[in-house]
Chains A and B, each alone.
Chain A
Amino acid sequence: MANNLLLLIAVAAGSIFGALGRYYITLLAVEKMSRDFPFGTLVVNLSGAFLIGLCSVILKLIKADPALYSLVIPGFLASYTTFSTYTLDTFTLFKLSRYQQALLYGLGSPLLGFLAVELGLNLGQFLF
């Protein structure tokens, strides 16, 4: 039970940093890049996909403690990236009749995300 509680604390703690990281990167993207295209969510989701590939290889190799795994994967990285905002962003672009951007973002995110996670997995296997 105490062990279970530790896992829950690890997930919760990781998620705080993940969500705040996502929020500040999104703010920065709005400020530095563009208000009109959801660059922030894209950057967050792609970097998160890369990191989950890399970290899952490393954590497996070092036979990481379940608490460390919970902190990084379902805690930090799962909260850092978001699926619901991505869907909402796609819908908003459609609603604004920016069909090209909507398709580009809607299909580009999962496609680039897949490449990012494969890159992370392969880099992890290559390096360690």
Chain B
Amino acid sequence: MPQPTPGAAYRPALAIALGAIAGSLCRYFLGAWLNQSFSLDPPYSTLIVNVSGCFLMGILATLSLDDAIRLHPEMRLLLLTGFLGSYTTFSSYELDSAKLLQQKGLTADLTYWLGSVMLGFIALRLGIILTEWILSRFASQDQCLEDIHSN
């Protein structure tokens, strides 16, 4: 009977923790940079973080389901659950919405609130389409090479 590697039980948790540190710090630094360089405040920096995170999610989720790539389950946890899960944030998005409603009124709030969801969805779709297109190009190249070799 194969013996499990010592500490194997902690590997998923470790993968998520490592991804989470990188994800949250990226969000923090990007927010600080956007604030310093373009004086963008939380609603906009949160929007940029969430939309870019959805785009990356489209890419990574498609890659992780592709047969040719076969992302290791723990790598999937590190990138998807750890990094992207922590990089993007739902709670700050809702808190920003509530603050916008108080400070700027209903129109600004609704624009941000629905806009985040719509743009996030579009960004995810773009990430998926882009990745599927690239993967199909690689697949057709492989097919060409196989055809050449078999002839």
List residues of chain A with CB under 8 Å of any chain B CB. Answer: 8, 11-12, 14-16, 18-20, 22-23, 45, 48-49, 51-53, 56, 73-75, 77-88, 90-91, 106-107, 109-110, 113-114, 116-118, 121
Beta-carbon contact of B89 and A79 below 8 Å: yes
Beta-carbon contact of B20 and A87 below 8 Å: no
**A90 to B54 CA separation, bound complex (whole angstroms):** 12
Residues on the A chain within 8 Å of B89, using CB: 77-79, 81-83
Number of residue pairs spanning A and B whose beta carbons lie under 8 angstroms apart: 161
Beta-carbon contact of A16 and B17 below 8 Å: yes
Residues on the A chain within 8 Å of B86, using CB: 15, 18-19, 78-79, 82
CB contact list, B94-120 vs A, under 8 A:
94-95, 97-98, 113-114, 116-117, 120
Beta-carbon contact of B95 and A85 below 8 Å: no
**A53 to B99 CA separation, bound complex (whole angstroms):** 10
In addition to A16-B21, A81-B92, A91-B128, 14 A-B residue pairs with Cβ atoms within 8 Å of each other are: A15-B25, A23-B12, A49-B95, A53-B94, A78-B86, A78-B92, A83-B88, A83-B120, A84-B87, A84-B88, A85-B81, A110-B114, A110-B117, A113-B90
Contact for A84 among B20, B53, B92, CB less than 8 A: B53
Beta-carbon contact of B50 and A19 below 8 Å: no
How far, in Å, is A40 (CB) from chain B's closest CB?
11
A-B contact pairs, 14 of them (CB 8 A): A8-B28, A12-B21, A12-B24, A19-B86, A23-B81, A53-B95, A53-B98, A79-B23, A83-B89, A85-B80, A85-B84, A87-B120, A88-B57, A110-B93
Chain B count of residues within 8 A CB distance of the other chain: 48
Beta-carbon contact of B57 and A114 below 8 Å: no
Contact for A20 among B17, B23, B61, CB less than 8 A: B17
Residues on the B chain within 8 Å of A53, using CB: 94-95, 98
Query: Which residue on A lies nearest to B109, using beta carbons?
Result: A114
The residue among A12, A53, A56 with the most chain B CB atoms within 10 A of its own CB is A12
Chain B 15-44 interface 0/1 with A at a Cβ cutoff of 8 Å (1 = within): 011011101110110010000000000000
B139 at the A/B interface (Cβ < 8 Å)? Answer: no
Contact for B54 among A20, A74, A84, A107, CB less than 8 A: A84
Residues on the B chain within 8 Å of A90, using CB: 121
Beta-carbon contact of A106 and B117 below 8 Å: yes
Once A19-B81, A51-B91, A117-B94 are accepted as A-B contacts, the answer to whether A84 and B57 lie under 8 Å apart by CB is yes
**A48 to B98 CA separation, bound complex (whole angstroms):** 14
**A77 to B92 CA separation, bound complex (whole angstroms):** 8
Once A23-B81, A52-B95, A110-B117 are accepted as A-B contacts, the answer to whether A83 and B25 lie under 8 Å apart by CB is no
